Structure 1
């Protein structure tokens, strides 16, 4: 099963999503991104990852410069490793960019396909909306007034914790 993270638009709440907000809910797959492996810059531009494109191009040029000076198979190996790294982190960079823009991560859903994950999320959301309001949680216990494991300095001697003369 594939894991998907669910993000909702900025300035919205999960319990009060309108129909237009429901259409904008975004599911981002966890893991490897094949389009980012083959056409990374096009994929980034399509996803509007402007800062990521700039950093990608700077790092690609720096990698090209360094590996050309090393010579041999270094440019080939370096290029393949860089492309694999970008493809592994592409969906994480997309999620990071959306969170920077104010989108809220509200859930993680698993499904064999995107449609299955969407069905699970929206059916759980519908069940949450139709269920009765939860009761108020029980009050938290009062905090302790003193430190829990403080050594006593009067008569108890704890090796390394009690100040005073050493006993020999």
Structure 2
């Protein structure tokens, strides 16, 4: 079973039903296309800042290879490290981009595949269960009136 993060658009994009219909489900899995395609995948996903960082890293690696004599093995290790990072964090980069654009986390769904995840989310959302309940803030703890015992090297608290 895989987990899917459900992101819904900003509040002003329509009614509750429109937000549910426009929801994006992002799988919390390894992104093989990001692993193999790297910068091209970033461009296709329109992750401009991440693409810029990726290009700058490659530029720095090529500069280090030409000027500082970085070996081919070191370049390969750097390439596979960046590819592994993109594979592991690719969906998270998309979720962060959506969050910066005002999208909100609506739900996390566990399912075997995307159609099942969509079905589960839509069933819960249309029934009104997908909106997480607002938890009350915890009440402040009362402070003790007397001296507070200190554990450690100093036996008394002295406002230092």
Relative to the length of structure 2, the TM-score reads 0.76
**Alignment counterpart, residue 33 of structure 1, candidates 31, 34, 55:** 31
Question: Structure 1, unaligned stretches of length 5 or more?
Answer: 164-168
Runs of 4+ with deviation above 4 angstroms: 139-144
- Closer, same or farther: CA 162–10 of 1 in aligned 2, 3 Å: closer
Given that 1:67 and 1:78 are in contact with CA atoms closer than 8 Å, whether structure 2 keeps it comes out as: no
Q: Distance in 2 between matches of 1:22 and 1:140?
A: 28
Aligned pairs, number: 149
Structure 2 residue aligned with 1:4: 4
Distance of aligned partners of 1:140 and 1:117 in 2 relative to their CA distance in 1, 3 Å threshold: closer
Quote the offset at 1:112 in angstroms.
Answer: 0.7
Q: Distance in 2 between matches of 1:126 and 1:62?
A: 50
Summarize the alignment of residues 3-152 of structure 1 with structure 2, pairs less than 5 Å apart.
3-12=3-12, 16-19=15-18, 21-67=19-65, 69-128=69-128, 146-148=142-144, 150-151=146-147
Question: How large is the RMSD of aligned CA atoms in angstroms?
Answer: 3.2
Asked whether the equivalents of residues 7 and 105 of structure 2 are also in contact (C-alpha less than 8 Å), the reply is yes
Larger radius of gyration: 1
> 1: CA distance between counterparts of 2:112 and 2:74?
38
Distance 1:141 1:42, change over 3 A: closer
Seen in structure 2, the aligned counterparts of structure 1 residues 109 and 149 have a Cα distance that, compared at 3 Å, is farther
Equivalence for 1:166? none
Q: Secondary structure at the match of 2:79?
A: helix
Instruction: Tell me the alpha carbon deviations over residues 14-68 of structure 1, each in whole angstroms, 9 at most, x when there is no partner.
Output: xx5234x333200111131011112222322222211111111111222333355
After TM superposition, the score normalised by the length of structure 1 is 0.73
Q: Which runs of 5+ in 2 are unaligned?
A: none
